[in-house]
Amino acid sequence: MYVNHTTNGMDNLNVFAITIEPSDNASVVNSLGWGGTYPKFPYTSNNDNIYDHYENTLGLGSGGIPFFIMICPNKTDPGNSTIVQSDVGFSNGLFPADYETKFTACFSGGANNIEELSSLFNTFPNPAKDILTIQGSYISVDVYDVYGKLVLSAESAKTINVSSLCNGIYMIEINTEKGTATQKIIITK
Distances (CA, A) of 53 to 61, 63, 82, 161: 11, 12, 14, 32
Strands 122-124 and 131-135: antiparallel
The pTM (predicted TM-score) of the whole model is 0.51
What's the pLDDT at 65? 82
Give the model's pLDDT for residue 108: 57
Mean of pLDDT values over 7-28? 79
| pLDDT of 175 | 82
* Per-residue pLDDT at 75 exceeds 70: no
